[in-house]
Amino acid sequence: MSTPDPITVQVIGASLVTIAEEMGAVLRRASYSTNIKERADCSTALFDEHGKLVAQAENMPIHMGSMTGLIDSLEASKLPVRPGDVFVTNDPYHGGGTHLPDITMVKPVFADDELIGYSANIAHHSDIGGRVPGSNAGDSNSLFQEGLRIPLVKFATADGVEQAPLAFIELNSRLPQERRGDMLAQLASVEIGERQLREVHQRYGRDTVRAATAYLLEHSRKRLAAALRAVADGTYRFRDLMDPSDGPATEIAVAITVDGEYIALDFAGTGPQSPVGINVVRPALEATVYYALKAVLDPGIPPNGGFFDAVRIAAPPGSIVNPVEPAPVTARTDTCQRVADVVLGALAEAVPQRVPAASHSTVTYVTFSGEDDGRFFVYPEVVAGGGGARTTKDGLDAIQVHITNSSNLPIEALEQEYPLLVDTYELIADSGGAGTHRGGLGVRRDVRILCDHAEFSAHADRQTTRPWGLSGGRDGGLGRFVVNPGRDDERQLPGGRVSGVQLRKGDVLRVESPGSGGFGDPARRSPEQVREDLRNGRITEQAARDDYGFRSAD
């Protein structure tokens, strides 16, 4: 099979990415839940007939490669696959993404009864059952507490939606109408992908598309190989800690070995699987590693799976990064963020100019639920934090980092949809680590309850272990959850993994996300920059004196 000319290859590659992007747009616009339509907690992708990722939209890095597990499970299941069939699952131990709220959907694409690829998406559903509204409490101690497990099942055929699986999903959610709307939005998305992928094959011919796809996958592998050749061969190590849960803090350790055009990551020494839901299944570990390597070594690698085979990942069975079923996993993103931190920390020794200090590196996932005028609601949110200081610049304030890329829910949409009021939404002064380049700031968000009763659940990290600085930069500030700040009944919630916190009308729940580490010796920061930080409220006068030796009279 000869490779088409370079222009045709690039046109086909851009067409595939455009299809994936349009699939995402359809999914967001057709969804019912704010978590998908406003916060874009979803991803879309196309795969070739061999199950290789050929195009992914710019959505959530945690989903990079996660949908591959569904296609692998489909092929292993030996289920009959016919034109028009659509399959779903959410089981993280059997090809269904990385935790139960993420429902994956795939539609095999045929042309003249020949399989030519797969159209797939994954979306985080606001409630999939389980012990708490929102299905996302970090203190769950079994997968069975976290929600409905959907085995690989046929969701639709050429004749339409299979009503039985849809009914099971609706029946097990506290928000059945929302689940129906979001599932049908996912179906519309994969159907758009199917139609447009078929059109690309019709326009250019199957052999040409296959040759172009093979070229693009090999190009990604060569891009990674070229980036690795610029790194000195050797083994680079780093360790960090998760906040403790019912015991000592769990260590995340990695040894990264660069050998010519290949790279191996060994997580030996990482702590045992956790009794609470911060365990990371293999697809989530792989997605995190692929993201971190791409971000540091060559961000320009095309969004496909061509470089995956050049990466070797070893993780001890029974560890927090390779748990044994049915270990709970709902808050796996907090651990994924720490995995990204240790990979970046190890690579900082190999390519120091490319790696920032530690970011807030948690997901700070909060859920408010309750009933208002007879209508049950679930409001999920991921609160941004500080981005790590860079080798030449300050860190960014109030951003999502690493494996998550969801937007915040605008206050106007929040207050229109839910019986909640945002009293305060601001940056936290002094939360960015001091340095020649200051770390980015975390966020303070006070949410007031307007209905008679509500329940709060959450998972977060970096409330005990601070984001680290680099090259003499100071550590960043910690996060926390506080009920009724400044009142006589103020109380700080113990740790970041909580569920079932009861709130009443007029109560305020304060969310504070972590800041990030600084880069370089704080003594080298210019007085002009310190003055500017003081004027903008990013640091206090005490921090200016203590961290930078700055006096207002200077």
Q: What does the pLDDT average to over 15-42?
A: 95
- Alpha-helical segments (H) within 155-229: 163-171, 176-204, 206-229
The per-residue pLDDT for 360 is 97
Q: What is the pLDDT of residues 417-447, one digit of tens each?
A: 999 999 999 999 999 999 999 999 999 999 9
**Cα–Cα distance measured from residue 100 to residue 149, given in angstroms and rounded to the nearest whole number:** 7
**Two tokens, residue 363:** 């997901």
Closest CA to 42 of 362, 303, 405, 535: 405
**CA pair distance 87, 108, nearest whole angstrom:** 9
Give the number of other Cβ atoms within 10 Å of residue 114's Cβ. 11
pLDDT at 552: 65
Distance CA 378, CA 272 (A): 33
Give 480's strand partners.
512
Q: Indicate the residue type of 42.
A: C
Give the H or E element holding residue 297: helix 282-297
Per-residue burial over 257-287, b if 16 or more Cβ lie within 10 Å, else e, is: ebeeeebebbbeebbebbbbbbbbbbbbbbb
> Among candidates 358, 363, 333, which has minimal Cα distance to 346?
358
pLDDT above 60: residue 253: yes
In the chain, the percentage of residues whose pLDDT exceeds 70 is 99
30 pLDDT higher than 70: yes
Give residue 78's pLDDT: 83
Tell me the residue type at 124: H
In what helix (H) or strand (E) does residue 528 lie, and over which residues does it extend? helix 527-535
Residue 553 predicted with pLDDT over 60? no
Average pLDDT of the segment spanning 89-110? 92
Tally of CB atoms within 10 A around 99? 28
| Residue 8: HSE in the Cβ half-sphere, 13 Å Cα cutoff | 17
Q: DSSP for 135-167, please give it.
A: S--TT--SGGGS-----SEEEEETTEE-HHHHH
List, for residues 131-150, the tens digit of each pLDDT value: 999 999 899 999 999 999 99
Contact between 473 and 393 under an 8 Å Cβ cutoff? The reply is no
**pTM over 0.85, yes/no:** yes
Check pLDDT > 90 for residue 456: yes
Cis peptide before 326 (omega within 30 of 0): yes
Domain boundaries, the chain: 6-220, 356-554
Average pLDDT of 513-532?
97
pLDDT tens per residue, range 376-408: 999 999 999 999 999 999 999 999 999 988 888
pLDDT over threshold 70, residue 1: no
DSSP 470: B
Rounded CA-CA distance 223/304 in Å is 12
C-alpha torsion sign, points 161, 115, 62, 246: positive
What are the tokens at 391?
């080798």
- Rounded Cα distance between 18 and 219, Å, is 19
Q: What integer pLDDT is reported at residue 46 of this predicted model?
A: 96
Task: Show the tokens assigned to 127.
Answer: 């409630």
Question: Coil, strand, or helix at residue 103?
Answer: strand
Task: State the pLDDT at residue 64.
Answer: 67
List pLDDT tens digits, range 199-252: 999 999 999 999 999 999 999 999 999 999 999 999 999 999 999 987 789 999
> pLDDT category, 58, cuts 50, 70, 90?
confident
Half-sphere exposure of 264 (CA within 13 A, CB side): 10
Q: What is the mean pLDDT of the chain?
A: 94
Q: Order of strands across the sheet with 160-161?
A: 53-56, 42-48, 114-124, 102-111, 86-89, 153-157, 160-161
Say whether 51 sits in a helix, a strand or coil.
coil
**Is the pLDDT reported for residue 339 higher than 80?**
yes
3-state DSSP assignment of residue 182: helix
